[in-house]
Amino acid sequence: MSDSIWGYQPTAGHTAGTDLVGYKVEAADGSIGKVDKHSDDVSSSYLVVDTGVWIFGKHVLLPAGTVRTVDDAERTVHVDLTKEQIKNSPEFDKDKHTGDAGYHQEIGGYYGGHRHP
């Protein structure tokens, strides 16, 4: 599996070190919530999104490679996924999302197969 799903696309416009917490997250077909936490770690960058009332009480882990653009002026992150793809993603596990290679492979495999070109 390629690790590129865990790195921001060069065209995303994200500057490492920029705090994305609180940014709105927009899927291809509408808003999905806000960034709850994020990581800029090389080869394991991700966003944790609080979906709020859209999927009540659910958080989702989005690899950085799913980010299409970061708009700092609007404090919005646009991802190359539909709401349905995000809703059907593997369950977020707050205990495994840092450092569990198997969990990262599961998430990366899911989103790697669902990215829009």
What tens digit of pLDDT does each residue of 28-78 get?
999 999 999 999 988 889 999 999 877 777 899 999 999 999 999 999 999
Closest CA to 78 of 31, 39, 46, 18: 31
Closest CA to 65 of 18, 101, 104: 104
Report the percentage of the chain scoring pLDDT > 70: 93
Contact 54, 3 (CB under 8 A): no
Q: What is the mean pLDDT of the chain?
A: 88
Confidence (pLDDT) at 3: 53
